[in-house]
Amino acid sequence: MKSVAEISERRYTCKVYDPNKKIPQEAMDQLYDILRNAPSSVNSQPWHFLVLESDEAKELVLPAIFEFNQPRVKDASHVVIFLARNEMPLSYLKEIVDQEDKDQRFPEAGMKEANDKGRQYFVDLNNKTPEQLHKWQDRQIYIALGNLLFAAAALDIDSTPIEGFDPQKLDEIFELKEKGFRSVVVASLGYRSHDDFNATLPKSRLPFKEIFTTL
């Protein structure tokens, strides 16, 4: 069994996928659980995950992907588009706290109300302007992205985080604004091709003393 350090050493950004290799459903189900269980500030879960698995769906999104990234979308097994909610209304916060109650998160009287008030406080704190809310949401979404990339590597699945796309165009393709969402980041998942030059290159990071201070 690989250690977590060994998994992090193995994990890299896939540049060329083998279009003939597909991720088994059992592995995808595990990755769905990883995304669903990702931590977020006050369990706000400000996300939605749009998963493209058919060739037709991947072709549909290509006009929004920068040209150099298009093969990493087209040839991947699955593509995850990380969406954020345009707003965080009280109705959505109530949905969260009601689910927590259903999952038996409140063993004592008054805990549900206190938890709900605390979440509303932090959402309001980061919701003075739409721009502030979006920045706060984006930070939560990148936590979920990091979880996905590491979990995929643990399952010997390759991945590519992608910011090289046109969010406005992608949002238009899927009519996201009308549905209350906006795209934040994209991740491709699949298995590397023998032609992937990046797969055989050594990992390069700054030395320990450059990036750590221990007190």
Each residue's pLDDT expressed in tens, for the chain with a length of 215 residues: 889 999 999 999 999 999 999 999 999 999 999 999 999 999 999 999 999 999 999 999 999 999 999 999 999 999 999 999 999 999 999 999 999 999 999 999 999 999 999 999 999 999 999 999 999 999 999 999 999 999 999 999 999 999 999 999 999 999 999 999 999 999 999 999 999 999 999 999 999 999 999 99
Domain membership flag for residue 174: yes
User: What is the DSSP secondary structure assignment for residue 180, as one 8-state letter?
Assistant: T
Domain CATH code at residue 165:
3.40.109.10
Q: Quote the pLDDT of residue 1.
A: 80
Nearest-5° angle of CA 130, CA 148, CA 91?
A: 40
Q: Is there a domain that residue 117 lies in?
A: no
Q: Which residues contact residue 85 at a Cβ distance below 8 angstroms, ignoring those fewer than 6 apart? A: 46, 47, 48, 92, 137, 180, 181
Is 205 a member of any domain?
A: no
Identify the pLDDT of residue 99: 98
Is 214 part of any domain?
A: no
> Strand 78-85 vs strand 158-162: parallel, antiparallel, or unpaired?
unpaired
Tell me, yes or no, whether 208 lies in a domain.
no
Say if residues 107 and 29 touch (Cβ distance below 8 Å).
Answer: no
- Residue 120 is predicted with a pLDDT of 98
Give dist(CA 24, CA 26) in Å, integer: 5
Q: Could you tell me if residue 213 is inside a domain?
A: no
Query: Looking at the 3D structure of the chain, how many domains does it have?
Result: 1
pTM (whole model) above 0.75:
yes
Containing domain of residue 143, as a range? 4-88+127-200
Q: For CA atoms 68, 70, 76, 81, give the dihedral sign.
A: positive
Residue 67 lies in a domain: yes
Q: What pLDDT does residue 38 have?
A: 98
Q: Is residue 196 part of a domain?
A: yes
